[in-house]
Amino acid sequence: MQLRLCAAGGLQQAVAREVERMSVDCTEVGHGAVRVETDAATAARLTLALRTVSRVIWEVGVGLPNTRHELTRAVAQLGWEKLLPAGRGWAVRASGRSPTLTHSGFAAQVVADGIRERFAAVGRQQPPVDLERPEILVDLHLAAQGAEVGLDLAARSLHPRGSGRRAVAPLREDVAAGLAHLAEIDAGSPIIDPFCGSGTLLAETLAVALGLPARRAARTLALSRLPRFSDLNLEALSPPTPVPGETTAGWGFDADTRVITQARRILTHYGLDEVARIRACAVDRLDPASLPPGPGWIVTNPPWGRRLGGEPSTLWRALGTLARRLPGWRLAVLSGDPSLTRHLGLRADRRFPVRVGGVDARWLLYSIRQVRNPSSASLR
């Protein structure tokens, strides 16, 4: 079976890295998605464990026409009576667009019509449609070249971790995990976040470094109700807790005392409370002597000034000052405003364009070198 692994824009290489760390080969790593050709057991294992994906789609029809009547006829040729479970509510989710199908709601209806035609043609009763809380989600992806139809193996977005977080401008969990993979952060080095906020980036970075899977409950996912997976012991496919190897510790800091309690709660929810510490401290008050011995990583998402109020340039200057006092360390920073990065006083080694919350951002990686005169550092 062919899977399409969906992720936020710019994180496809991160998804591929995580998939390959699970000893699974990718058949395609493209701009829009990562594709894997595999069996049902591995498909289930990926859906249960991957941190970087937002959806896992089992593609049951590819290269389909992207015009109304032709798409309906093509969908009606697929064996939906074998794919959809009896008595389970279903709906169609549409994304993308084609020259003639530009409205997602109408495009979803075109696919639904094809499914109804299929059940009528084979003389089988169609499962009920449930647009509010579908247990099964048919996925339609439109493009100028054609259409793809599949089944969403979770029937929901995979980014929530069940932590109940509430924060201003929160970073999605799958995006945070993807950023950690792009930076290739592994166990063995300390990780600090001077703008930890609710703790999502720190928690996901630690989880990636330690090789911790997402560990979703199979019973909450659509694949537990799909006939194709009925012969599998899905609970047995849940990824085991990895054997501890090199350890990694994390430290999170934030000037906003209101988020400290939430950050601690989220790290506890992740099972990382024994390897991470959180305390209230502004970035310009951080003393390098109080930090763990390095070299390590500064991994952070400072205020951009677009969603958060105030003037962020002073915070970015303070971050640059802190980084230059930690030679040998590495800095990974997310920026949604190119004008802010110059305040770091550092030159980026690598830049990854990523799409975050509808904003074209950059994930910037820096190697911190000894600078004799910080004021003369190149600005980027």
How do the domains of the chain map onto residue ranges?
2-152, 173-210+248-376
Compute the CA torsion angle 47, 53, 54, 56 (nearest 10 deg): -40
Q: Which of 66-80, 228-242, 280-294 has the highest mean pLDDT?
A: 66-80
How far apart are alpha carbons 82 and 57 in whole angstroms?
17
Rounded to an integer, what distance in angstroms lies between the CA atom of residue 347 and that of residue 367? 8
What does CATH list as the number for 173-210+248-376? Answer: 3.40.50.150
Decide if pLDDT at 52 tops 90: yes
Tell me how far apart the alpha carbons of residues 202 and 206 are, in angstroms, rounded to a whole number.
Answer: 6
Distance CA 76, CA 70 (A): 10
Q: Is the pLDDT of residue 169 over 60?
A: no
3-state secondary structure of 267: helix
User: What are 126-146's pLDDT values in tens digits?
Assistant: 999 999 999 999 999 999 999
Q: Which of these ranges, 107-111, 152-156, 246-250, 337-341, has the smallest mean pLDDT?
A: 246-250
User: Does residue 190 have a cis peptide bond before it, meaning omega lies within 30 degrees of 0?
Assistant: no
Residue 380: what pLDDT? 41
Residue ranges of E strands in the chain: 2-6, 28-29, 33-37, 55-64, 90-96, 136-143, 146-152, 191-193, 250-254, 276-280, 297-300, 330-335, 350-356, 359-367
Question: Which of the four pLDDT bands, split at 50, 70 and 90, describes residue 29?
Answer: very high
Single out the residue of 218, 211, 269, 267 nearest to residue 240, CA to CA: 211
Give the pLDDT of residue 123. 97
Q: What is the pLDDT of residues 86-95, one digit of tens each?
A: 999 999 999 9
Using pLDDT thresholds of 50, 70 and 90, give the confidence band for residue 155: very high
CATH class label, 2-152: alpha beta
User: What is the CA 197 to chain-centroid distance, rounded?
Assistant: 18
pLDDT over 50 (residue 244): yes
DSSP β-bridge partners for residue 332: 299, 365
Q: What's the rounded Cα separation, in Å, for the pair 131 and 89?
A: 8
Decide whether 2-152 matches 173-210+248-376 in CATH topology: no
| DSSP code for 36 | E
